[in-house]
Amino acid sequence: MGSEETGLFPMTLTDLDGVMEVERLSFLTPWSRRDFLVELMQPFAVYIVARRGEQVVGYGGMHVIADQAHVTNIAVHPDHRGQGLGERIMRRLIELAAERGAERMTLEVRVSNTPARNLYEKLGFVTAPGAVRKGYYTDTGEDAIVMWKEPLAEQAAAEGQQ
């Protein structure tokens, strides 16, 4: 693996093989290649990849519509977890959402996904009282917690100064 830097880039069609590998290793019910192809064609969809050398080691995506961004998915290759990469991807999505005029961001997270929930809280996401989608995850029937972050512009501006 060496000491290659991990960079964040807009997702392209050439990234899909690597994205599909990360997707398959990360989720019980992974998205299909077609799902990602459809997403990449949407004008409101924003997807980024984390690459170390030529290898896709993570990705994240969202929809930005009007003043709201909705995170659709984020994943990091199991061999690259615990290195702050998920946080880098999320911070970049927040920045990109603000650049596109979003004032708030939302996402769903599995009740059992404590590491992700902790990350989102660290980034300023909060759970509104009663914000649970019962049986949201069809693969297990698990509930999802709905989390929100606003305003985005302040954090995005702070990120740009670092």
- Confirm whether 59 is a catalytic residue: no
Residues 6+ apart with CB under 8 A from 10: 47, 48, 49
Neighbours of 154 (CB within 10 A): 11
136: left (phi over 0), alpha (psi -120 to 50) or beta: alpha
Residues 6+ apart with CB under 8 A from 61: 11, 39, 45, 46, 47, 48, 71, 72, 73, 74, 93
Given the residues 47, 59, 120, 137, select the one marked as catalytic. 120
Q: Closest by alpha carbon to 98, among 72, 127, 62?
A: 62
Given the residues 103, 108, 142, 150, select the one marked as catalytic. 108
- Confirm whether 47 is a catalytic residue: no
Identify whether the C-beta of residue 58 lies closer than 8 Å to the C-beta of residue 77.
yes
**Catalytic residue numbers, as ranges:** 108, 120
